[in-house]
Amino acid sequence: MNLSQPAVSKLITMLEARLGFVLFRREHQRLVPTAEARVFYEATKSVFGQFNRLEHLASNLKRAGFGHLVVAGVPTAGLSVLPAMISQFQAERQDVSVSLQVQNTPKLIDLAISQQIDAAVSVLPVDDPAVSSENLFRGRWACVLPPGHRLARKDVILPADLAGEPFISLGDEDRMRHLIDDIFAMEGVARILRTSTQLSMAACEFVRVGAGVTLVDPLTAAAPTNADLVARPFDHPVQFELTLLTPSARPPSAVRDEFIAHLRREFAALARKLG
């Protein structure tokens, strides 16, 4: 306690005067606690325990190590990179819990506007004062081919290379479907459109079973589950983009700010890695 013996004796005397009973008796030059002191000490242990818990909580809050986050992501991010990014964030913050919601774009935007999430990774920005939008990731589309395909020996795939190819499209309501269709319409390239699916991962599965080729985002193409397929960069000015959405009226917190900064760093590193 860094106190001298006289100072400790004075504190004991003051405490006994305030409590109204004796805490220690001197026996053979030793201070022996009275029965009342022992009872009083047992009662104070729980109080000091509460203080210790408050100190621990304050420390966690100070270093953004405590709290709950609700994060949303389109399937492109939610089924590929977000689980690893969230787990890495939590590994350094054992008292932070996270709920990840994988949603389609319209539902995700509704959640952001209604302030029901802390952050979201979208394929579209939001033109609403209740939500802040910023570019998070930008990269080239990837053409996914089955092993042995005639285009697998090319380093880069051009739109014209896919003329007449059986093509696995995304669902009609998917924003990425419209971007991809616009690219081929712009270039005047006709594909054979017989199969469509809601998820990029499912499109890759169609490629795996020999149903055709597809264009997906670079995150899906680089996923370990697709390592057996051939992915080649797709050369076109229109690229794949992800947007970070942050609800403006959501109560601010240190842990949310730290998580958003973490997402920015991780996606910037991913953009460099995927080139």
Q: What is the CA radius of gyration of the chain?
A: 30
Are 267 and 242 contacting, i.e. CB atoms less than 8 angstroms apart?
yes
Burial label for 194, CB within 10 Å (0-12, 13-18, 19+), is exposed
| Per-residue confidence band for 14, with pLDDT thresholds at 50, 70 and 90 | confident
Are 183 and 207 contacting, i.e. CB atoms less than 8 angstroms apart?
no
Alpha-carbon distance of 158 to 255, in angstroms, equals 43
H or E element at residue 139: strand 131-139
Q: What is the mean pLDDT of residues 120-146?
A: 95
**Equal CATH topology for 66-138+241-274 and 141-238:** yes
The SS3 of residue 220 is: helix
Rounded to the nearest 10 degrees, what angle do helices 254-274 and 82-91 cross at?
130
- Closest by alpha carbon to 225, among 233, 234, 236, 216? 216
CATH code linked to domain 141-238: 3.40.190.10
- Whether 62 has a pLDDT exceeding 90, the answer reads no
Q: How far is CA 121 from CA 3, 11, 96, in A?
A: 56, 59, 20
| Per-residue confidence band for 64, with pLDDT thresholds at 50, 70 and 90 | very low
- Closest by alpha carbon to 220, among 197, 237, 238? 197
| Per-residue confidence band for 58, with pLDDT thresholds at 50, 70 and 90 | low
Alpha-carbon distance of 105 to 162, in angstroms, equals 28
Provide the pLDDT for residue 122: 95
Taking only the tens place, the pLDDT of each residue in 171-212 is 887 888 999 999 999 999 999 999 999 999 999 999 999 999
Are 228 and 158 contacting, i.e. CB atoms less than 8 angstroms apart?
no
CATH code linked to domain 5-62: 1.10.10.10
Provide the pLDDT for residue 55: 60
CATH of 66-138+241-274, one of 3.40.47.10, 3.30.559.10, 1.10.260.40, 3.40.190.10: 3.40.190.10
pTM beyond cutoff 0.75: no
> Could you tell me the residue ranges of all domains in the chain?
5-62, 66-138+241-274, 141-238
Burial label for 125, CB within 10 Å (0-12, 13-18, 19+), is middle
